[in-house]
Amino acid sequence: DFEKMNVTKIKKAKNSKNLTMITAYDALFAKLFEEIADIILVGDSLNMSFAGKPDTLSATLEQMIYHTNAVCAGAPKAFVVLDMPFGTYINKDEALKNAVRVYQETNAAAVKIEGGEDRADIVKHLTSNSIAVMGHIGLMPQYVRSEGGYKVRGKTKEDTEQLIKDAIAIEKAGAFCIVVEGVMSEAAQKITEAISIPVIGIGAGNVTDGQVLVWSDMLGFFEEFKPKFVRHYLNGAQLVKDAVNQYRSDVQSKTFPSKEEEY
């Protein structure tokens, strides 16, 4: 029952179904997710999970374009979103120049931008120049150094009100949906009710219009730590280690390759 998504269908999903978004960084895994997920995000989280860096800030546009091309090649039917990395949308002109480059050099359907009211003018500039934009508010990993850490949002009335303002500003700027990350469930519900475009949550409870998870987290490949909001649907790390251990043992015992596996 897979249906290829577009921005119109995603907007309509607000009142009809919960959206499933997952990250992918390469063709191999993108192909596995292609006809299951509504949206594939080439997240700058790849800078941590794949490049082993401490945060997302050092990801470059060149890297995001490379990975997006791999994802689009593996999953041509998917609705693919490129996560604009830190520093590539510091003002309207830079943002548009870089987003146009994304459309020219990849088949991404949209770009994602972190920021609320403070960046609504940038989102507006992109959407009024025919770039589809997914917003991202709440806990924004690209703000980790300036904020001094990752902090769950929406714990106070004031912060919840700011988040609602952020969501409304991004909707007004023309975004077709918004990621809401690391927000108290009660606040996430208020945000979801305040706007008419879908809210895709991560660490924001089950009150949103969809969910997103980083694939290597949900499949249990990332072992360093498990945030509270991640559910492990597979014990990927253990399965891989067991398999490679078996391989080593077969190599050592010369039971691999067998007669059937030789020329």
Q: Which residues are catalytic?
A: 181
**CA pair distance 23, 33, nearest whole angstrom:** 9
Q: Which does 108 bind (CB under 5 to 8 A by kind): Na ion, ligand KIV, none?
A: none
Residues 155 to 184 in contact with ligand KIV, rule: CB under 6 A: 179, 181
Specify the residue, 134 or 184, whose C-beta has the smaller distance to ligand KIV.
134
Q: Peptide bond preceding 257: is omega within 30 degrees of 0, i.e. cis?
A: yes
Least CB distance to ligand KIV at residue 253 (A): 41
Instruction: Yes or no: say if 119 and 91 are a contact pair by the CB < 8 Å rule.
Output: no
Pick between residue 43 and residue 138 the one whose CB is nearest to Na ion: 43
Q: Interface with ligand KIV by CB under 6 A: which range of 41-49, 119-127, 219-227, 234-242? A: 41-49
CA 71 to chain centre: 13
Q: Which of 34, 83, 166, 209 binds ligand KIV (CB under 6 A)?
A: 83
Which residue of 24, 30, 43, 201 would you call a contact of ligand KIV, by CB under 6 A? 43
Task: Judge contact between 247 and 256, C-beta under 8 A.
Answer: yes
Nearest to 88, CA basis, from 77, 96, 80: 96
Name the minimum Å distance from CB 141 to Na ion. Answer: 6
Q: How far apart are the C-alpha atoms of 167 and 144, rounded to whole Å? A: 20
Instruction: Give Cα separations from 28 to 34, 93, 230 (angstroms).
Output: 10, 35, 22
Shorter beta-carbon distance to ligand KIV: residue 163 or 202: 202
Is 217 a residue that touches Na ion (CB under 5 A)? Answer: no
Give ∠ CA 32-36-39 in degrees, rounded to 5. 100
Which residues contribute to the site for ligand KIV (CB under 6 A)?
A: 23, 41, 43-45, 83, 179, 181, 202, 212, 214
Q: Can you give the binding site for Na ion, defined by CB under 5 A? A: 43-44, 83
